[in-house]
Amino acid sequence: MKPRLLPIFVLLLTGCTALQAQVEFRVIGAAQRIDKIMESDFYIAEIQDERNFTANLGIVNRGADCDIKRPLIAESEFFSNLKSRMNGWLMHDAEAVPVVLRVKQLYLWEDLRRELEDGEGYIRLHLLFDAPGKPTQEVAVTLSGDQLTVAKGHSPRMEDAFFRCLQYYQERWENQDFREMSQTEAWASDSRGLQTASNFLDLKQGRTNAFPGKLKRLMGRLERYRLRNRDQHERHNFYALKDGNELFIRGNAYPGGAHYYTRVLEKGRYLFLVDRVHFPIKSTFVDAGIPSGKTVGILIDMQTGMPQIVTDELIAEVLKPYPDLKKQYLFQNILDYPVQLDRVRKVIAEVNSRS
């Protein structure tokens, strides 16, 4: 089996009335923590956003079971403010060379449970530096594990990633050690958070990585699977696995459990799967009228990475661009009557074929 480890994480929820709490998001801007200065012969003239994934800057997991997932949204003038901050770290004269900074990838993921003080975080930043008369330089930074803690906040950690990239580029400039584009350098660790987030991005970009393992179906009607090797299962926390043409999403990537993968029933713009969800007593989902223990449909929007519980309102939103399907497929009280999920699957398959 050659499972496919996939990107994204994202990962986030929509604007349906029944789940209004899910649409909350965190706005992230430039921090003001780093006060170091580097002498340089260049400055950042422009920052160009060339990311393939621009729906958000990542996902924040909250709640006792990480059942609350919120997107990180960049504030207005986010990159302009970053450019000012980066130039504030450079001491240069009037003859300094203008450098164009191209952002190829920027993604933040974090997992904070109530019992953890610091939680687990992950940042991936991939930049290209273009200077006149010099080869384009590629610098990639991955921060996770001991290199950052959730308690420090989103903005300072993202600022730190940009500072490290700039520092690394300055060292190359100073030593005239310019390298070929194929040589990407990164700081990395093997934290579970890194695996979860980077696998979502891999999924988003269609990357395939070989992973030795076998999936075993768990007992019961639900499409739940786990790695046959228990030690291997506990050691890895992949966002998704692929076995042949079948795709499997880790339960805690949406409001499911942490110890299994659920088979995706429909793939495309939307991933559709069915699972029984369990929430803590004080969960936002319970407050929104979704009792724990319900079998529900899960929709993951691959444009945003956001997992959403299927409700009448959500389906109506998905079908807005397709009035013919809206007339053909009528839904009422999906949460109370999950037998309708078979029809939900059919309409999602049709929407995916048109996307």
Render 296-332 in DSSP notation, one character per residue.
EEEEEETTTTEEEE--HHHHHHHTTT-HHHHHH----
DSSP 8-state code for residue 339: G
- Binned at pLDDT 50, 70 and 90, residue 182 comes out as very low
Q: Is 156 exposed, middle or buried (0-12, 13-18, 19+ CB in 10 A)?
A: middle
Over the chain, what is the mean pLDDT?
A: 75
Lowest mean pLDDT among 105-109, 172-176, 181-185, 345-349: 181-185
Is the pLDDT at 10 greater than 60? The verdict is no
Q: How much is the pLDDT for 32? A: 62
Q: Of 262, 263, 272, 269, whose CA–CA distance to 321 is shortest? A: 269
Q: How much is the pLDDT for 223? A: 92
Is the pLDDT at 185 greater than 50? The verdict is no
Q: How much is the pLDDT for 175? A: 86
Write out pLDDT tens, residues 112-121. Answer: 554 445 556 6
- Binned at pLDDT 50, 70 and 90, residue 233 comes out as low
Instruction: To the nearest 10°, report the CA torsion of 318, 320, 323, 325.
Output: 10
Instruction: To the nearest 10°, report the CA torsion of 199, 197, 203, 222.
Output: 80
Is the pLDDT at 311 greater than 70? The verdict is yes
Which residues in 142-155 are b (16+ Cβ under 10 Å) and which e? bbbbebbbbeeebb
pTM of the model: 0.68
Is the pLDDT at 198 greater than 50? The verdict is yes
Maximum average pLDDT range among 61-65, 157-161, 179-183, 197-201 = 157-161
Render 1-26 in DSSP notation, one character per residue.
--------TT------GGGGGGG--E
Q: Regarding predicted confidence, which is higher, 285 or 28? A: 285
Q: What percent of the chain has pLDDT over 70?
A: 66
Q: What are the beta bridge partners of residue 216?
A: 226
Q: How much is the pLDDT for 303? A: 84
- Binned at pLDDT 50, 70 and 90, residue 7 comes out as very low
Write out pLDDT tens, residues 243-293. Answer: 778 888 888 778 777 788 899 999 999 999 999 887 666 566 655 666 677
Q: How much is the pLDDT for 183? A: 40
Is the pLDDT at 234 greater than 70? The verdict is no
Averaged pLDDT for residues 161-166: 90
Q: How much is the pLDDT for 6? A: 32
Averaged pLDDT for residues 309-325: 93
Is the pLDDT at 210 greater than 70? The verdict is no
Write out pLDDT tens, residues 110-163. Answer: 665 544 455 566 788 899 999 999 999 999 888 766 555 545 566 677 888 899
- Binned at pLDDT 50, 70 and 90, residue 1 comes out as very low
